[in-house]
Amino acid sequence: MRRISLIMVGLLAMAALFANGCKLWEKDVIVLAQGKPEIDGQLKAYAAAWAEENGVEVVIKSCGGGNCDLGQQLKADYAAGEMPDIFAINGLEDYLEWQAIAADLSDEAWVDKTDVAFVHNGKTFGFPVSIEGWGLAYNADILAEAGVDPKSLVNLSGYREAFAKIDSMKEQLGLDSVVSMAAGTEMFWVTTHHNLNSLLSNGLQYGDTSVVDQLLAGQVDSKRLSEYVDWVELLFQYADKAILTTGNYDAQVGAFATGKAAFLHQGNWTDPNMADANATFEMAFAPHGSMEAVTDGIFVSAPSFYLVNVESANAELAKKFLVDLATTSAGANYIVKEAKMIPAFTNITLNPDGQLSSSVQDWMSQGKVYSWNQYLFSAEFRDKTLAPIYNQFANDQIDKARFIQLLTEAFQNR
Amino acid sequence: MLKKRSQFVFWLFLIPILFAFLMVVIIPFFLGIFYSLTNWSSSARLGATLDFVGLTNFIESLKDPSFIYSFLLTCVYTTLNILAINAVSFGLALLVTSAIKGRNIYRVGFFLPNLIGGLILGYIWQFIFNNAIPTLGEVLKLPFLSNPKNLILASRNASVVALVIVGTWQYAGYIMMIYVAALESVPVELLEAARIDGASGLQRLRNITIPMVAQAFTITVFLTLVNSFKQFDVNVSLTAGGPSTIFMGKPMNGTELLALDIYNTAFVSNNLAQGQARAFLFFVVLVLISVVQVRAGKKREVEL
């Protein structure tokens, strides 16, 4: 009996040593969970170099794209007590989910070097991962051949004229359709994460949420909405019907990259796809023409932000990781040259290679940008309520009047 | 003494599986029921606490048109799928147990789709429906097939049929194997005696073969029922729940089966507790239907 208790005590002591004593011979570890699988390799390489330099270990978990959902993964990690030290969010709705554990980053060295950090109630919480933007991407060669001046593409009437003209010359230009647009169920994000923003922020000052506030209160500006619906109708009308209703991302981007469509409703994240498809033509972004009034600017923002987990034992180390990412030349090189993103920090002077990314930077340098307000609505509202309405319209199941009515009701009964 | 010892060994061998069963089935099951009665979200919302909310999640689920729609749709899909799979697989089983040449190759060939994961299968068929069929229509000059207005996955009803086609293609081979085993155990004497008595092929099938394999029917209908009811992976990859439809005046996803609705409630709407409540309702309905079906099936079985 005594022997058994001796063994038990020994085992307990060992267990205690393992539980608490790991740090005696192991390095500090910070875990970063992010949602862009396409930059996984580059981020791992940068993190490994940084970890080496600082004598710690950095683990990168990438979860995104078609087969992994970061928000869902974070919930599983949180329930299991393994919340990462740094994790990515998309905007306000995501932030509210994790508000209780988001560290206040207002005093960090990178805060005064960016305009697009995630700020809530006057405090900075989110480190901007990059800058992304979209307008309507156009194939400049085709537009030149058709005699359309991209500068005229700033409002509804400009687009009406241009679309009609290009549509009449489709055979001559070798086009299948004028604009490559997707509104299938799988591609709900093109309509309710991107196109919807034309209604919410086009023509407004950067950061102006007046339209969103009205809609959140259930008040619908019917003039603004009906002009916006004209824009949606125009895009749907001149789109390739097969891509519009059933096409996936590859089909939509592919049609533009191979010169089968003159316009593409996507953002600068398609640059690597263009390179893969050897698209050599000149391309750039034109503003969305969702209003009769001239709206001379494109939609630009940080698409995701890193939050630091305040409950983490290594929160200070995690903050240093972010500071170094924004302020060192190795960090700048990773952001711009390796991950091919547009930097969100003014101290970084490198330029990305892609044509569409350059176009976004052009618009930014002229100050002609509108904000992303779509994340002020919940994912549930956009994906489960609005997306089926767009899909009904794209599939010709409902007419324009009914489309307007359903949108209005959706905002009123949200 | 010996008996006591063997009892001990009996339980010793059972412990690993009992432990696993307890950890991954029993405990999560009751935890799930507990969570479905709370406002659990598994996130760090400000000021969020785990509160007991009674049956709110269940009541809200039953009031939600998209849950009702998914439930009805799943019933329709399950009915169509049971009919299609069993008809096809019984036909295939008759084919590969007949004297046809190369029947072993057929057996393997028909079984093969079952070895492909449902997600991949869905993407393959999505390509067939979205790209291969329209292209075929262009080549063969059949404008009906190439017209984008007739795309199968662009229409709600056709998409449900597409789900049934893919489900059948995936599962018929597996069910066929069960039928093959049953058909091979039908005593040859009975069939021979019937033939000598002058019974036609169809008569032999109806009066001897089918009653003799009724046991297999109970199993296959049960398997196809449960499998169709739980369909998720093909649903996600083939249609992703679309195209949309309008039900009870509310626009919603038109081919969202129950499992996908539960998933979307939990992870798109960020409402894990209500997703759990729906999963529990799903479980209860599935158990009820299965018990009724197995009871009814047992009555038809014939023992020699």
- The reply to whether B5 falls in a domain is no
Q: Divide the 304 residues of chain B into consecutive groups of 10 and give the mean pLDDT of each group.
A: 78 93 94 92 80 91 93 95 95 89 89 89 92 90 84 92 94 93 90 89 88 88 92 92 88 93 88 93 93 84 63
Tell me what pLDDT residue B214 has: 86
- In the predicted model, is pLDDT for residue A12 greater than 80? no
| CB contact A246 to B (< 8 Å) | yes
DSSP E strand boundaries for B95-243: none
| CB contact A392 to B (< 8 Å) | yes
A251-267 residue pLDDT tens: 999 999 999 999 999 99
CA dist., res. B134 & res. B128, Å (int) = 9
- The reply to whether B271 falls in a domain is yes
| CB contact A412 to B (< 8 Å) | no
Mutation to test the A interface, candidates B31, B34, B35, B42, most A Cβ within 10 Å: B42
- The reply to whether B25 falls in a domain is no
Q: What's the per-residue H, E or C state across B179-191?
A: HHHHHHCCCHHHH
Instruction: Indicate the angle between helix axes B27-36 and B272-300, nearest 10 degrees.
Output: 120
Which value, to the nearest 10 degrees, does the dihedral of the CA atoms of residues A342, A348, A352, A355 take? Answer: 70
* Window A:341-380, CB contacts with B under 8 Å: 378-380
| CB contact A104 to B (< 8 Å) | no
**Tokens 């992304």 — which residue?**
A132
Whether residues B148 and A389 touch (CB distance < 8 A) is answered with no
- The reply to whether B286 falls in a domain is yes
Q: How confident is the model at residue A3 (pLDDT cuts 50, 70, 90)?
A: low
- The reply to whether B27 falls in a domain is no
A170-191 residue pLDDT tens: 999 999 999 999 999 888 889 9
- In the predicted model, is pLDDT for residue A2 greater than 70? no
CB-CB neighbors (< 8 A) of A387 in chain B = 244
CA dist., res. B105 & res. A40, Å (int) = 44
**Tokens 């995104």 — which residue?**
A64
Q: Shortest CB distance from A96 goes to which of B45, B130, B254?
A: B45
Cα B220 to Cα A4, A63, B164, B176, B246: the distances in Å are 55, 38, 16, 9, 34
- The reply to whether B260 falls in a domain is yes
Tell me what pLDDT residue B176 has: 94
Beta bridge partners of A128: A305
Q: Write B16-22 long-range contacts (CB < 8 A, 24+).
A: none
Cα B252 to Cα A241, B65, B271: the distances in Å are 21, 9, 18
| CB contact A80 to B (< 8 Å) | no
CA dist., res. A264 & res. A288, Å (int) = 11
This model of the complex carries an ipTM of 0.85
- The reply to whether B184 falls in a domain is yes
- In the predicted model, is pLDDT for residue A35 greater than 50? yes
Overall average pLDDT of the A379-388 stretch: 90
* Window B:154-173, CB contacts with A under 8 Å: 154-155
Which range marks the domain in which residue B143 is found?
64-300
- The reply to whether B80 falls in a domain is yes
| CB contact B32 to A (< 8 Å) | no
Q: How confident is the model at residue A23 (pLDDT cuts 50, 70, 90)?
A: very low
Whether residues A245 and B154 touch (CB distance < 8 A) is answered with yes
Q: How many CA atoms lie within 13 Å of A27's alpha carbon, on the beta-carbon side?
A: 13
Whether residues A98 and B134 touch (CB distance < 8 A) is answered with no
**Tokens 């090189």 — which residue?**
A333
DSSP-derived 3-state class of residue A173? helix
Tell me what pLDDT residue A138 has: 96
- In the predicted model, is pLDDT for residue A4 greater than 70? no
Domains of chain A: 25-130+303-346 (3.40.190.10), 133-301+369-412 (3.40.190.10)
Tell me what pLDDT residue A182 has: 94
Query: Residue B291 maps to which CATH number?
Result: 1.10.3720.10
CB-CB neighbors (< 8 A) of B47 in chain A = 100
A289-310 residue pLDDT tens: 999 999 999 999 999 999 999 9
Quote the minimal CA–CA distance from B205 to chain A in Å. 44
In chain B, the residue whose alpha carbon lies closest to the alpha carbon of A386 is B251
Q: What's the total number of domains in chain B?
A: 1
| CB contact B41 to A (< 8 Å) | yes
| CB contact B81 to A (< 8 Å) | no
Whether residues B253 and A384 touch (CB distance < 8 A) is answered with yes
Whether residues A247 and B130 touch (CB distance < 8 A) is answered with yes
Mean pLDDT, rounded, of chain A: 90
- In the predicted model, is pLDDT for residue A146 greater than 70? yes
| CB contact B272 to A (< 8 Å) | yes
- In the predicted model, is pLDDT for residue A16 greater than 80? no
| CB contact A97 to B (< 8 Å) | yes
Cα A14 to Cα A2, A11, A24: the distances in Å are 18, 5, 14
